């Protein structure tokens, strides 16, 4: 129930960030709705396709899709105002990331899959929306360069699985994961925590 | 039956436009066949994957795939001639868009899905082939910038669903949708009807 | 059994080439693991999604995913050394291509699909990993421009199917296909065999 409300807040916020990317590419309203929806529910869609988990969430509940399309269009009118709320959106995005990770973990657990695949499921749910947005808008995928993001999805999923493993009640595990995951993500943004990155110069290639 | 013939005309024409894009990227014959097939049957493929509608059309009927590959290769020999037929291809593309939209609507209806998902199914069938072409050829997706295209798929699908809802016979509904949808698309091209677009300048970002 | 060992060698080598591409894009460790895994097991994943062949290989056997992630990370430490082994990697890539093609053919045969779809299945398994790598790293897909690659997958798959058709034992057919396919690919690299390519100049467009 809590998770459902947070999920709707999460997809709305993600849809708005997607719409802003579409605006930077001067897309029309259809493009705005497409990028908004791909950003918000693309991660869950890729997860369900990879796991063979049909029907997809938004096929069963078309109102999720309606929400992301409407959030995208509203963003076109409020863009200047939304950009000023950068701090709020970073917080909502952090919250969305943890909510998506918990939902991804639950879906894979419900299918009886290996713990490693539960974590991958969380990762895909949390990260692939943003990847799709950046692919469609032809910009360098942020998640592959910036502060800890994918790692936070992995940590959140691992924490949630561990708590359940130790017999913690689902509600307690969910709330603990939400709080701790959110704080880790916000700390990563504030202190610019990053994974090591791999720079390879020159034309060296094995192809 | 009519729809089957129009479908084959549609995928042939779409395969040819895909092959021309591949040629602009100096691809080899495999690239030409890949882009031709993705353009022509990629929309239906994405639709079937999203809806979990297996087996895919071209897996069940491999001759559709053979048609798109052959159309792609023939295009490499006739490119100069085809480019001169621009007017014909705009008409065939408009026809294909409506045919794909009707087929997409029918597939989702046949699975008992919500009307909103039937319209999304039409949209994906009509539009995602061109999106895949533009992604593989690394060009800005036309459908997100140009004259009404996705909107025509939505209108055609909505019209077809409404006619059936009012008890119109399937053949009559199909032909009416074909004629009206085609005329709307051609009018959009001629009069440059566009959706409002969303231009966001500067580096403002919420990420 | 032989095929399983060669498969693991193949995905390891492909993961390493993927990691090098990620390094050229200055990605972080997550990006490295993503591109390594997409390159190595992305082809099989796309194939299984297209054929509706669930569960995916790496969902059932998560250690394949672990191998590609670890191979990717190891590559970040050994990059200079790996680049000097260009000759070895070209050989491993050729071997991997044939192994992937045979596995792709077998999967589609096991589902009772048409011979043409078995060949497409081999092609997708062999080629789409590299395509995904190039899409994520935003580089021009090599497979659409370079020496025979996709064609080798088609030839290997066709040869394997033909041998089985003539009653040759599976082990003999597999080994023959491996040897002949490998030699054709290496000859294509050495003698720069290419498919004809299609160059279309100017702004001529049918859209």
Start-end of H helices in chain B: 2-24, 29-51, 57-60, 62-84, 86-110, 115-136, 150-165, 170-190
A22–B198: do the CB atoms touch at under 8 Å?
A: yes
pLDDT surpasses 70 at B203: no
Residue pair A181/A155 in contact (Cβ under 8 Å)? The answer is yes
Structure tokens at B22: 């591949």
Residue C49: closest C-alpha in chain B:
B49
The better pLDDT of the pair A164, A26 is held by A164
Residue among B114, B138, B199 whose CB faces A23 most closely: B199
CA-based nearest residue to A51, from A144, A137, A113: A113
Average pLDDT, rounded, for chain C = 91
Residue among C113, C198, C207 whose CB faces B23 most closely: C198
ipTM, two decimals: 0.90
pLDDT in tens, C52-96: 999 999 999 999 999 999 999 999 998 888 888 888 888 988 999
Kindly state whether B17 is in contact with chain C, defined as any CB-CB distance less than 8 angstroms.
yes
Q: Please name the residues between 61 and 100 in chain C that touch chain B, using a CB distance below 8 Å.
A: none
Q: Give CA–CA dist C147/A142, Å, rounded.
A: 33
Structure tokens at B198: 């969303």
Q: Give CA–CA dist A174/B12, Å, rounded.
A: 52
B195–A19: do the CB atoms touch at under 8 Å?
A: no
* Geometric angle at alpha carbon A143, from A138 and A149, rounded to 5°: 160
A22–B199: do the CB atoms touch at under 8 Å?
A: no
CB < 8 Å to C89, chain A: 206
Q: Give CA–CA dist B182/C204, Å, rounded.
A: 24
B76–C196: do the CB atoms touch at under 8 Å?
A: yes
Tokens 């421009």 sit on residue: C145
pLDDT surpasses 90 at A139: no
* Geometric angle at alpha carbon C8, from C2 and C14, rounded to 5°: 130
- Residue A202 is predicted with a pLDDT of 61
Quickly count: other Cβ atoms within 10 Å of residue C130's Cβ: 27
Residue C207: closest C-alpha in chain B:
B90
CB < 8 Å to C32, chain A: 198
Residue among B116, B149, B200 whose CB faces A23 most closely: B200
Confidence of residue A118 (pLDDT cuts 50, 70, 90): very high
Confidence of residue B206 (pLDDT cuts 50, 70, 90): low
C83–A206: do the CB atoms touch at under 8 Å?
A: yes
C-alpha to C-alpha distances, B135 to A121, B21, B79, C154, nearest whole angstrom: 25, 11, 22, 24
CB < 8 Å to A49, chain B: 49-50
């Amino acid at each position: 129930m809590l998770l459902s409300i947070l999920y709707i807040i999460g997809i709305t916020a993600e849809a708005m960030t997607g719409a802003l990317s579409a605006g930077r590419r001067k897309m029309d309203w259809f493009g705005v709705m497409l990028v908004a929806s791909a950003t918000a529910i693309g991660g869950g869609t890729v997860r369900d396709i990879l796991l063979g988990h049909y029907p997809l969430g938004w096929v069963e509940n078309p109102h999720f899709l309606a929400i992301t399309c409407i959030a995208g269009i509203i963003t076109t009118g409020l863009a200047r105002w939304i950009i000023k709320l950068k701090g709020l959106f970073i917080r909502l995005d952090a919250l969305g990331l943890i909510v998506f990770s918990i939902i991804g973990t639950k879906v894979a657990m419900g299918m009886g899959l290996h713990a490693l695949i539960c974590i991958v499921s969380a990762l895909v749910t949390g990260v692939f929306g943003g990847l799709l947005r950046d692919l469609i808008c032809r910009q360098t995928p942020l998640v592959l360069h910036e502060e800890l993001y994918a790692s936070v999805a992995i940590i959140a999923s691992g924490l949630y699985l561990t708590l359940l493993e130790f017999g913690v009640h689902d509600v307690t595990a969910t709330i603990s994961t939400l709080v701790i995951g959110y704080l880790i993500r916000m700390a990563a943004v504030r202190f610019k925590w990053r994974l090591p990155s791999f720079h390879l110069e020159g034309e060296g290639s094995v192809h």
